[in-house]
Amino acid sequence: MEGILNAQQIDQFITRGFIRIDDAFPTEVAAQARDILWNDLGVDRHDPTTWTRPVIRLGMYPQEPFVASANTQVLHTAFDQLVGAGKWLPCRSMGTFPVRFPSDQDPGDAGWHVDASFAGDDPANFWEWRININSKGRGLLMLFLYSDVSEHDAPTRIRIGSHADVARVLAPEGEAGLSFMELAGKLDTMPEREITLATGTAGTVYLCHPFLVHAAQPHRGKEPKFMAQPPLLLREDLSVDGGSPVELAIKQALI
């Protein structure tokens, strides 16, 4: 399958920081994944009165439906186009699942942030994980929708074009970069950006620049939201001087 992303989509990724791919994996696979997650949630899927928490976090998921969803030919081809053929590692686990339920409670994790990509001095301390100008360790931020997500179902909020602002903040910090918390503390000083919502049907995937600023939000819908947010890990380091769309977006931000 020769490139599935056209020139307009690649330009959108470079300038806006993300693209949306509909039907990136089959809805049947999404349903199989949801069944596994429901089994681990400890609530009754048919009784909303048991859904008493706004978010329940589940652990790593390497089972077949999850691995299959991340390794379709469509996605592999898109990874090659955005990051570079041979530069990324196939996903073998979808990471932590924050399953969000309809609730009036504050979920407590809805702040704006950029996902960190490599360990600091204490690998066990997530808040000290780091991000640098070359996006060490991470090729993409990815949002996999395993359930239908409308504007009421706690869709991830995205600051359009914010990856460029983050690149400019990271550039002076060199190879060491900034910790998750250090960068989070600088986001309020960045330019105001238009916000969009990561909505779509089950099987939709958002491929995002690793510097994209995003946030969760409370769930005001009726059905739980199932979404994974794994990184696309790197086989080869990226560089500001590289030619992939991920690298070009960083380079253009620094001009």
Query: What pLDDT, on a 0 to 100 scale, did the predictor assign at position 2?
Result: 66
Q: Is the pLDDT of residue 148 over 70?
A: yes
Q: Is the pLDDT of residue 100 over 60?
A: yes
Q: Which two tokens stand for residue 114?
A: 């950029």
pLDDT band (50, 70, 90) for residue 40? very high
Q: What is the pLDDT of residues 184-237, one digit of tens each?
A: 999 999 999 999 999 999 999 999 999 999 999 999 999 999 999 999 999 999
What count of residues does the chain have?
255
Cα–Cα distance, 188 to 185 (Å, whole number): 7
Helix-then-strand count for the chain, H and E: 7, 12
Q: Is the pLDDT of residue 92 over 60?
A: yes
Q: Is 198 helix (H, G, I), strand (E, B) or coil?
A: coil
Q: Which two tokens stand for residue 193?
A: 């950006």
Cα–Cα distance, 209 to 140 (Å, whole number): 5
Cα–Cα distance, 232 to 26 (Å, whole number): 20
Cα–Cα distance, 252 to 247 (Å, whole number): 9
> What domains sit in the chain, N to C, each tagged with a CATH number?
7-253 (2.60.120.330)
Cα–Cα distance, 171 to 126 (Å, whole number): 22
Residue among 252, 248, 235, 250 at smallest CA distance from 85: 235
With pLDDT > 90 as the criterion, what percentage of the chain qualifies? Answer: 93
Lookup result for tokens 């590692």: 89
Bridge partners, residue 55, by sequence: 100
* 62 and 93 Cβ atoms separated by less than 8 Å: yes
